[in-house]
Amino acid sequence: MPGKVWLVGAGPGDPELLTVKAVRVLRSADVVVADRLAPRCVETLLRRDVKLVDVGKRRGHHPVPQGEINSLLVQHALAGSEVVRLKGGDPYVFGRGHEEQQACEAAGVPVEVVPGVSSALAVPSLAGIPVTHRGLSRGVTVVTGHDGVDDPTLASGDRTLVVLMGVSLLRKTCETLLGAGLDPATPAAVVEQGSLPGQRTTVGSVADIADLAATRGVRAPAVVVIGAVAALARPDGA
């Protein structure tokens, strides 16, 4: 009999933001295949004999290709193991979770999704930024910044733009939005290490946020927020 694969969202980093179901599944796992952004302190929840496989990725460095990750999940499950695929945030928000689900189903492996707290919404909240707010923002768009933001329709004055994995191309993103007509004074914020002890927020405008981030040495993981609500960010230490 095959085991089972659980696609578990680990949230933005603080292990206290794991769901009750995620904790239960982790405690019963035989194998945990973990992303770089999944909180390492979950190791205290695991059985002593669990097999922990690190398949972490970062921009330009993917030591374990996605196809190999899919194969690992299937192989361990077919061997009878209870397998947790632990992913930062939510498995279905730029996490390639559905690709892994399809691979498991194609191999006849039972698979279940355990949603997680997405950093796209949680990290701005932890920095005091509501992604929607009466009179300021009537909607929110979440995009990946890996390849830059090149859609000029995102330059809307009454919506919030949240960019995940967007630090390395932050300057290009801002230039694109300004070129599409976004007011240079539009507030912008970058929240690093959201939910972790090192959380830090850099606040400026679309015109200067890239310079401010460079001066402060902003690094991933970080969430970029562009729109009127970004001005509501709490100062660091508040």
For residue 192, list its beta bridge partners.
200, 222
What is the spatial distance between Cα 197 and Cα 98, in angstroms, rounded to a whole number?
31
Question: Which ranges in 61-208 belong to alpha helices (H)?
Answer: 66-78, 97-106, 119-126, 170-179
Q: Which of 191, 208, 209, 211 is nearest to 200 (CA)?
A: 191
Are the C-beta atoms of residues 175 and 189 closer than 8 Å to each other? Answer: no
Question: For residue 211, what are the contacts with CB-CB under 8 A and spacing of at least 6?
Answer: 204
Length of the chain as a residue count: 238
User: Which amino acids are annotated catalytic?
Assistant: 35, 57, 165
Locate the DSSP E strands across 21-144: 31-34, 51-54, 82-87, 111-114, 140-144
Q: Is 171 helix (H, G, I), strand (E, B) or coil?
A: helix
Distance CA 153, CA 148 (A): 14
Q: What is the CA radius of gyration of the chain?
A: 19
